[in-house]
Amino acid sequence: MIFKDQLGNALTFSDFPKRIVSLVPSQTELLHDLGAGNRVVGITKFCIHPDEWYRSKTRVGGTKNAKKNVIAELKPDLIIGNKEENDKNNIAELTEIAPVWMSDIYNLNDALVMIGQIGEIINETFAAKGLIEKIQRQKEHFLTRYNPLLGKTVLYLIWKNPYMAAGKQTFIDDLLTNGMGMKNLLIEERYPELQLEELQHQPDYIFLSSEPYPFKSQHISELQSIFPSSKILLVDGELFSWYGSRLCHTFQYFEELKMYVSK
């Protein structure tokens, strides 16, 4: 059997993988929800969902510095990674242990393709198809209802000291624009550093993500002095950036945001 990953690499197997190491938190949760169960033998220290896996599975290090010796001891026949979240040199070392399947996610369609492809490689195509259809239905339902956020400008902050935001060519941007119908204030790509006082326009909304920087309520008042006309909200970063089965909750969360700003 030959499976291609999202970087175009072809992986060959004589049977479906039975010992899997996941190096990506959102894809670890996906593997659980697809029914991989005991086939997943290793995860990272950031793979916090589901909690029972976080407490029981072998942790192999971080997403950028997975421990080769720990992974080798697990004798995996498949390692699952991501181009952005994992370190290129670290991944190259791990290919000496087992085939590495890599995702490359820039938008919701990429995520849905990834869900289907992982479903195929672990022989859970029916479960993957069900997840994809559920996410598509929820998106369509969201987009057909009244949306007070439609066309509003937004700045999505992911870090402080220095401030960094999600720009174009990111999964977050795709969810903001194509998922929610908002307009990203940034035209820069990826995750630029910002001098907030130098921004030429005040956004209608500023979203403060819960991850990777854990923004809290006190940061709202700090930023309100710079952006007095912007509405500033704390948002769940997992529901904007986890591109696996957590997407099944994303559009319901967007509905809740709509209801909140409508008050």
- What does pTM read for this prediction? 0.95
Beta strand 193-194 with 183-184 is unpaired
Residue 105 burial by Cβ neighbours in a 10 Å radius (0-12, 13-18, 19+): buried
The highest-level CATH class for domain 153-262 is: alpha beta
Residues of the chain predicted below pLDDT 70: 263
Exposure letters 71-86 (e unless 16+ CB within 10 A, then b): beebebbbbbbbeebb
Q: Do residues 94 and 34 lie in contact, with contact meaning Cβ atoms separated by under 8 Å?
A: no
Exposure letters 140-149 (e unless 16+ CB within 10 A, then b): eebeeeebeb
Q: How many CB atoms lie within 10 A of CB 25?
A: 25
Q: Span 2-137: which CATH code?
A: 3.40.50.1980
Contacts of 252 by beta carbon, 8 Å cutoff, 6+ apart: 138
Convert 76-114 into a string of H (helix), E (strand) and C (coil): CCEEEEECCCCCHHHHHHHCCCCCEEEECCCCHHHHHHH
pLDDT for 150: 93
Amino acid at residue number 128: A
Q: H-helix or E-strand containing 190?
A: none
Whether omega for the bond prior to residue 148 falls within 30 degrees of 0, making it cis, is no
Q: Do residues 75 and 21 lie in contact, with contact meaning Cβ atoms separated by under 8 Å?
A: no
**Two domains, one topology: 2-137 and 153-262:** yes
Distance CA 47, CA 166 (A): 22
No. of helices (H) and no. of strands (E), the chain: 10, 13
Residue that has been written with the tokens 């039975």 in this structure: 18
Tokens standing for 23?
């190096």
**CA-based end-to-end distance of the chain:** 54
Q: How many CB atoms lie within 10 A of CB 253?
A: 16
Residue 205 DSSP SS3? strand
pLDDT for 197: 85
pLDDT for 263: 66
DSSP at 43: E
Residue ranges of domains in the chain: 2-137, 153-262
Alpha carbon of 90 to those of 57, 63, 82, 96: distances in Å? Answer: 21, 9, 12, 11
pLDDT for 258: 87
Q: H-helix or E-strand containing 58?
A: strand 58-59
